[in-house]
Amino acid sequence: MEGAPEERGLRSFRGPRELSQIDVPLGYMMSGPEGHAEIGGDSIGEPRYSIGLARRDELHLIPAIELAAARLLVGHAPERVLAEATSESDLERARRAGHLWVARSSDRPVGFAHVKVLEPGSVHLDELDVHPDHGRRGLGRQLVTAICDWAARAQFEAVTLCTFRDVLWNRPFYEKLGFDIIPKDALSPALASVVEDETRRGLDPARRVVMRRMLPAGASAA
């Protein structure tokens, strides 16, 4: 599917889509408005990235990121799933709700994270993608961190997601970020519905896991 590990990008798909590499985080500093982070740029010629809430004028650029990242999962998901992209109308609803973050390079989106509130007390990471050209720069890790920090400050108790069980750079990546597998018999009705939807769309439920990271309410989740 992908090339060597250092060439991989980031892919996490609806339910959410999957992480297609293990990101190597660079140092980052919080600056500007709350929820905005600057990453990298410490070496000559190294791009500087920022992470913050999405703007309306960026939404039309996000589906291309999603589709480019999807190619990294060829062989792990059906082609029809890899051809899916979030509609601009869904992205606009997420933007208005404050549920859509982007990673930017030179003020242009190169990655994004989209969350949904499916049930009281938790948020669900529905989509996480970084364009392959910007992989291995810690952007996926920092997008997840931004979501967890926001969710903790907003008094949510947990962040949930779905990912591949047997792909090295999926479940193990999230485990390193503090996510644990939720047993199938412990899934809430909302999360069980996510799994059912994935199965209808052609994903093998035996290869999927639902994960959860518990959060310290009102505090940074980093």
Question: Which tokens hold the place of 100?
Answer: 């859509």
User: Could you count the other beta carbons within 10 Å of the beta carbon of residue 85?
Assistant: 18
Question: Which tokens hold the place of 210?
Answer: 């639902």
Per-residue pLDDT at 23: 35
Output the pTM of the full model. Answer: 0.82
Q: Report the C-alpha gap between 114 and 184 in whole angstroms.
A: 24
Q: Report the C-alpha gap between 210 and 119 in whole angstroms.
A: 15
Q: Report the C-alpha gap between 8 and 81 in whole angstroms.
A: 19
Rg value, the chain, Cα = 16
Please, are residues 48 and 39 in contact by the beta-carbon 8 Å criterion? yes
Torsion of CA 83, 84, 88, 90, to 10 degrees: -170
DSSP-based three-state secondary structure for 212:
strand
Chain centroid, CA 168 distance in Å: 16
Length of the chain measured in residues: 222
pLDDT tens for 116-174 read 999 999 999 999 999 999 988 999 999 999 999 999 999 999 999 999 898 777 899 89
Domains of the chain: 5-214 (3.40.630.30)
Please, are residues 160 and 36 in contact by the beta-carbon 8 Å criterion? no
Contacts of 197 (CB under 8 A, 6+ apart): 15
Q: Percent of the chain having pLDDT more than 70?
A: 77
pLDDT tens for 18-58 read 443 333 333 333 333 444 555 655 555 667 899 999 999 99
Query: Among 68, 64, 141, which Cα is nearest to 103's?
Result: 141
Question: Which tokens hold the place of 76?
Answer: 């792990």
